[in-house]
Amino acid sequence: MRALVKHRAGPELELQTGRAVPECGPRDVLIRVLKAGICGTDRHIWEWDAWAAGRIPVGITTGHEFVGIIERVGSAVTKYSPGLRVSAEGHICSWSDYNARTGAAHIARDTQILGVDRDGCFAEYVCVPEENVWPVHPSIPDHVAAILDPLGNAVHTVMAANVSAKTVLITGVGIIGLMAVTVAKAAGASRIFVTDLDEKRLALAQKLGACAAYKANDPNWIEKVRKQTRGDGPDALIEMSGHPAAIDDGFKCLRMGGTAALLGIPSRPIAFDLTNHVIFKGATVLGINGRKMFETWYQMEELLLSGRLELDEIITHQLPFDQFRKGFELMQSGEGIKVVLEIGGR
């Protein structure tokens, strides 16, 4: 089969044609991939930064966001049959540790990530355990079903921050930050403020429902947001940038007693004013990892079926599989936001 492989300990990926179809166990499902999204994580793997070099095994098939059709099921699989259109939760665990057994499998100790720790979905076929399969509702189109993984990150973060009838600040409107804008709007946030350095994305965030958008380097944006929130600051902070200055400003702006849900990942340990930002502020701080299995998936499906999510301008490109290089370049240049690869036909 064709597969996009990390072929060496260095930049780029190679489209290999003679890759073996993955071997599935009795409790696994083999899925023929239709479409797959390129993630920021894939971009780190493509660029081979320090994180990728320390984590990604050379020879792995990359990719973790996809939709496909079940091709074959293992002998012990009971819930699904060939022909079903599905996506899958890309965090795979053995369901044996404390968290997995008490409803928090998204932070299981032995989690393996598709396309990071084991062969992924930038390939004609991908194999996942039956437990990870998510049947896709018929009214959700393929290009949207291909990006449920990152959309789920946005849904998990926004739902954790409990935004209904509250003012929300989203720091960083990259792919998932933009998704968080439309999700927060759909989830009933009263007013959404956003910051970023990219003016195009700030404009798109406003189109998606943000009431105000500020350049992150505007020295007065915190004061401007405070003025619009009775001087208190926003009720919730949704941190999507991972940038130390954005995190610092976000906490400065947050209302006393507010809630911060953090998804953005700083590239190294950062200095942080715990005293003022959390302790004296009385803030609730939530670390967000992956998607709750499978509460987030049900919430996401309901939000999609409500018709209130606007994803068309976030999914900017759909490209044939062999144009993967263009896909990564579109992401690097910022011209593309979410790029979806067309891996196989129906």
Binding part of the chain for Zn ion, among 145-153, 218-226, 294-302, 319-327 by CB under 5 A, reads: 145-153
Smallest distance from Zn ion to CB 303, Å: 18
Closer of 142 and 149 to Zn ion (Cβ): 149
Q: What is the rounded distance in angstroms from the CA atom of residue 106 to the CA atom of residue 143?
A: 24
- DSSP codes of every residue in 20-72: PPPP--TTEEEEEEEEEEEPHHHHHHHHT-HHHHHHPPTT-B---EEEEEEEE
What's the token pair of residue 23?
A: 């071997």
Active-site residue identified among 7, 41, 78, 317: 41
Q: Which of 36, 250, 60 is nearest to 150 (CA)?
A: 36
Asked if 205 is part of the footprint of Zn ion (rule: CB under 5 A), the reply reads: no
Which residue is associated with the tokens 């393996």? 112
Site residues (CB under 5 A) for Zn ion, limited to 283-312 = none
Smallest distance from Zn ion to CB 92, Å: 14
Smallest distance from Zn ion to CB 179, Å: 11
Site residues (CB under 5 A) for Zn ion, limited to 11-70 = 39, 65
Amino acid identity of 73?
V
Site residues (CB under 5 A) for Zn ion, limited to 150-169 = 150
In Å, the largest CA–CA distance within the chain is 62
Binding part of the chain for Zn ion, among 22-30, 126-134, 141-149, 307-315 by CB under 5 A, reads: 141-149
Cβ atoms of 42 and 60 within 8 Å: the answer is: no
Q: What is the rounded distance in angstroms from the CA atom of residue 192 to the CA atom of residue 210?
A: 5
By CB under 5 A, the count of residues binding Zn ion is 4
Smallest distance from Zn ion to CB 37, Å: 7
Active-site residue identified among 7, 17, 44, 296: 44
Closer of 37 and 129 to Zn ion (Cβ): 37
Smallest distance from Zn ion to CB 297, Å: 15
Q: What is the rounded distance in angstroms from the CA atom of residue 340 to the CA atom of residue 69?
A: 17
Smallest distance from Zn ion to CB 64, Å: 6
Q: What is the rounded distance in angstroms from the CA atom of residue 109 to the CA atom of residue 95?
A: 9
Closer of 104 and 113 to Zn ion (Cβ): 113
What's the token pair of residue 79?
A: 């819930």
CA distances from 179 to 60, 95, 102 (A): 29, 29, 29
Closer of 66 and 193 to Zn ion (Cβ): 66
What's the token pair of residue 123?
A: 């390939």
Binding part of the chain for Zn ion, among 14-22, 50-58, 66-74, 148-156 by CB under 5 A, reads: 148-156
Whether 41 sits among the annotated catalytic residues: the reply is: yes
Closer of 3 and 169 to Zn ion (Cβ): 3
What's the token pair of residue 344?
A: 């196989």
Known catalytic residues are 41, 44
Q: Which residues bind Zn ion (CB under 5 A)?
A: 39, 65, 149-150
